[in-house]
Structure 1
Amino acid sequence: MLRTTSTLRAVTATITALLTTAALTSCGTTAASGPEPTQEQTSLGKTEGSVSILAWPGYVEDGSNDPTVDWVSDFETKTGCTVTSKTYGTSDEAINLMKTGDYDVVAASGDATLRLIAGGEVTPVNTDLIPSYAGIFDFLKNQAWNSVDGKAYGVPHGYGANLLMYNTDVVTPPPTSWSVVFDDASQYAGKVTAYDSPIYIADAALYLMTHKPELGIKNPYALDDTQLAAAVDLLKAQRPNVGEYWSDYLKEIQSFTSGDSVVGTTWQVIQNSLAKEGVKTAVVLPEEGATGWSDTWMISSKAKSPNCSYAWLDWIASPEVNAKATAYFGEAPSSQEACTFRDDCEAFHAGDAEYASKIWYWTTPVAKCVDGRTDVTCTDYAKWTAAWQEIKG
């Protein structure tokens, strides 16, 4: 179920906001600090009649934006839980809103989840109370961005990789490595494109994991000062060859259509759109792997409607609903069964565990190294943000 250009335009703010991580605060928080977590529920009771949801645009659709896009109304009818929702534009905004205690449920990206956990804003979830959880791909469960000390803090929503896209007429032979945008970028000077966010530093770190193993990088989100400096140097060397840093993916579509860009980082949904328009581009998950994202539905530790909250987590993870929501957004669903309700799962490599194992899902860089090291302090997102400003000048 590929989205039309008009649909892409309608949700541009959604995906742009999803990946925008500028101006983050409180980035020095570690996943193990903060208040003691609220105990997970052991049983479900009668639903409370309403649930308040905080989410990215496009995640809680009730037909008011598009009459054909609605997975909320049936939930309300089935559960008796009336949904009120609010959208947000950045992870920082979501964290601040969650601190108010006004929301029962939040859809959080990997640059927010650990901070929500550390701040005691969300509670562990009892997955035994969420029947749909059983069908979710194993490679999305109990990961560094959605669990702590073996406790699940939410339900995975969907996922995607940041791929390498290239113009098949210009970039030959077909690239298999990120070297085409890093060490070898000068051959396409001025026509390289890169994602415009401090989180892109992780892409450089991922490349260095393979090409400079002496740096000892084991996780692109766990960089000590020396490792961060190496990634920054690589990005500074790349900078003269970059024609455009993009955050609005419609602009990247336009740039590859016009030929202003011929190689750079992208998303599968962009390639799908270009292919539909006959633009000669292709994508590859390079030999070094790629960064990517996986969002998590989490329950507030102050939830006024915990039973309706659990009902929502089960609903949004149910195959047909998850298929609708992730297709509308442009990402792989969270379960194989959801693919029976979509016709594009193959394009998104949904369920391909080997493919998914090559994706390093966004995780907030924090002072406590997420790679397990205890003999050094890692750089947090505040340092990454300062470094990104330095890189771009």
Structure 2
Amino acid sequence: MKRMTRTARRGVTVGLAIASVALLTACGTSGGGTEPTEAATELGDMEGQLSVLAWPGYAEDGSNDPAVDWVTPFEEDTGCEVTVKTFGTSDEAVSLMKTGEYDVVSASGDASLRLVAGGDVQPVNMELTPNYANVYDFLKDKAWNTVDGENYGMPHGYGANLLMYSTDVFTEAPTSWGVVFDGSDAYAGKVTAYDSPIYIADAAMYLMATQPDLGIENPYALDEEQLAAAVDLLKTQRANIGEYWSDYLKEIQAFTTGDSVVGTTWQVIQNVAAAEGAPTDVTVPEEGVTGWSDTWMISSGTENPNCSYAWLDYIASPEANGQATEYFGEAPSSDEACEFRADCEAYHAGDASYAENIWYWTTPIEECIDGRTDAKCTDYSAWTEAWQQIKG
């Protein structure tokens, strides 16, 4: 496929996402939203509290490991007492944000546009967050964090969905995602996959490389025929799945016990598994990877806007961002953050060409974000329905 055209196609993605954000609500991806709020123009006194909704590992306060804590310094600096709630999937994050109980959320690209469309988050005046200036340019003004010219949050970190395998079973690293798709029969009952409709994109990416006649140019832009092909592949895989995972601790346990031997994972899972002595490793297959570029967003209904802005700026500060992204296992949002960690090179931090080759989670919409104008693509509600059919 024409991989070098991705930059141009993703330029189209931004325009279409801007034009189509309202459609996400209409087609059932978000509940009844509110009118968009305006970005703040100035900040005031801290309110004294902040409720954070985050991916595991993004807002560590020392309760999991006393040596891992970047929340406490924020509390001491600002006087904002932080409570943290973690979630396992983007769907869960969207549902929780609709309760109005959280001030800020770390949203991946398959959640951020739904939150914007539902009126659940507000535009952010990045001039009030000085650390935004250091953020890599290739993470700014993207379809998943900017709508109609307005920024909706602070880029946090980015990374890839990797292939994990048992080193007891594989003497060499697998080179293709085929081991979990066309070749999954060899590992029947011990294949694992991420439990979310967005995983359909992983199948689409594999088909993009192995069945070019389908004409897939972007794994998040699937017409009905292309979606059907991905669904068929995943239904075949389903017979060999031992378990779908969303709780990363359960995936670690499954690989440790041998209940799982191959499947999709995150670098943080491999980091923890290796530390616990699990016989696992990870690799980037030849077909490429999907991945994420996450954004810290502020609730449209927050009663703690000053603490919220303070958090967005703080979590992008070099030391805090370096700590958080290193602990999770992803590239940071700035070169300055690399001064506080020693492994940035391993994550290709700051390498714009490498980052461009990750298919970042993006909410599927009816307008085909691959640039097609003569086709209608399937939206996230169709993917959700398809995922329910796949799992049975």
Alignment of 1:72-221 (within 5 A): 72-80=71-79, 82-85=80-83, 87=85, 89=87, 91-92=90-91, 94-95=93-94, 98-99=97-98, 103-168=102-167, 170-171=169-170, 174-221=173-220
Alignment correspondent of 2:338: 339
**Which AA in structure 2 matches 1:175?**
P
Q: Secondary structure at the match of 2:243?
A: strand
Give the whole-Å Cα distance in 2 for the aligned partners of 1:34 and 1:146.
18
Kept in 1, the 8 Å contact 2:268–2:328? The answer is no
**Which AA in structure 1 matches 2:173?**
P
Kept in 2, the 8 Å contact 1:52–1:102? The answer is no
Q: How many percent identity over aligned positions?
A: 68
Aligned in 2, Cα 1:181/1:101: closer, same or farther, shift over 3 Å?
closer
Give the whole-Å Cα distance in 1 for the aligned partners of 2:255 and 2:224.
36
Gap runs ≥5 in structure 2: 1-23
Alignment correspondent of 2:321: 322
**Which AA in structure 1 matches 2:355?**
A
Give the whole-Å Cα distance in 1 for the aligned partners of 2:241 and 2:85.
33
Aligned in 2, Cα 1:354/1:46: closer, same or farther, shift over 3 Å?
same
Alignment correspondent of 2:5: none
Q: Secondary structure at the match of 1:125?
A: coil
Kept in 2, the 8 Å contact 1:30–1:366? The answer is no
Aligned in 2, Cα 1:316/1:186: closer, same or farther, shift over 3 Å?
same
Kept in 1, the 8 Å contact 2:46–2:78? The answer is no
Alignment correspondent of 2:311: 312
Alignment correspondent of 1:269: 268
Give the whole-Å Cα distance in 2 for the aligned partners of 1:66 and 1:272.
15
Once the two structures are superposed, residues 200-251 of structure 1 have per-residue CA deviations (whole angstroms, 9 ceiling, x without a partner) of 1111011111222222222212222111101011112223333333333333
Give the whole-Å Cα distance in 1 for the aligned partners of 2:194 and 2:149.
33
Give the whole-Å Cα distance in 1 for the aligned partners of 2:335 and 2:267.
18
Give the whole-Å Cα distance in 2 for the aligned partners of 1:263 and 1:104.
37
Once the two structures are superposed, residues 286-309 of structure 1 have per-residue CA deviations (whole angstroms, 9 ceiling, x without a partner) of 222111223211123344443433
Kept in 1, the 8 Å contact 2:366–2:379? The answer is yes
Kept in 2, the 8 Å contact 1:336–1:351? The answer is yes
Offset of residue 336 of structure 1: 2.5
Kept in 1, the 8 Å contact 2:365–2:379? The answer is yes
Kept in 1, the 8 Å contact 2:71–2:82? The answer is no
Gap runs ≥5 in structure 1: 1-24
Kept in 2, the 8 Å contact 1:27–1:380? The answer is no
Q: TM-score, normalised by structure 1?
A: 0.80
Alignment correspondent of 1:291: 290
Offset of residue 254 of structure 1: 3.5
Q: Secondary structure at the match of 1:156?
A: strand
Kept in 1, the 8 Å contact 2:161–2:289? The answer is yes
Aligned in 2, Cα 1:280/1:216: closer, same or farther, shift over 3 Å?
same
Kept in 1, the 8 Å contact 2:25–2:33? The answer is no
Aligned in 2, Cα 1:226/1:99: closer, same or farther, shift over 3 Å?
same
Alignment correspondent of 2:365: 366
Offset of residue 103 of structure 1: 4.6
Kept in 2, the 8 Å contact 1:29–1:367? The answer is no
Name which of structure 1's ranges 337-346 and 100-109 shifts more when overlaid on structure 2.
Answer: 100-109
Alignment of 1:45-64 (within 5 A): 45-56=43-54, 58-63=57-62
Q: Secondary structure at the match of 1:231?
A: helix
Q: Secondary structure at the match of 1:112?
A: helix
Give the whole-Å Cα distance in 1 for the aligned partners of 2:168 and 2:74.
48
Offset of residue 154 of structure 1: 0.6
Give the whole-Å Cα distance in 2 for the aligned partners of 1:302 and 1:77.
25
Alignment correspondent of 2:3: none
Give the whole-Å Cα distance in 1 for the aligned partners of 2:123 and 2:192.
39
**Which AA in structure 1 matches 2:224?**
D
Kept in 1, the 8 Å contact 2:51–2:103? The answer is yes
Aligned in 2, Cα 1:261/1:78: closer, same or farther, shift over 3 Å?
closer
Alignment of 1:353-392 (within 5 A): 353-392=352-391
Aligned in 2, Cα 1:104/1:263: closer, same or farther, shift over 3 Å?
closer
Give the whole-Å Cα distance in 2 for the aligned partners of 1:302 and 1:243.
41
Alignment correspondent of 1:226: 225
Alignment correspondent of 1:4: none
Alignment correspondent of 1:16: none
Aligned in 2, Cα 1:47/1:214: closer, same or farther, shift over 3 Å?
farther
Kept in 1, the 8 Å contact 2:165–2:281? The answer is yes
Offset of residue 61 of structure 1: 4.2
Give the whole-Å Cα distance in 1 for the aligned partners of 2:163 and 2:73.
39
Q: Aligned residues, how many?
A: 366
Give the whole-Å Cα distance in 2 for the aligned partners of 1:241 and 1:154.
40
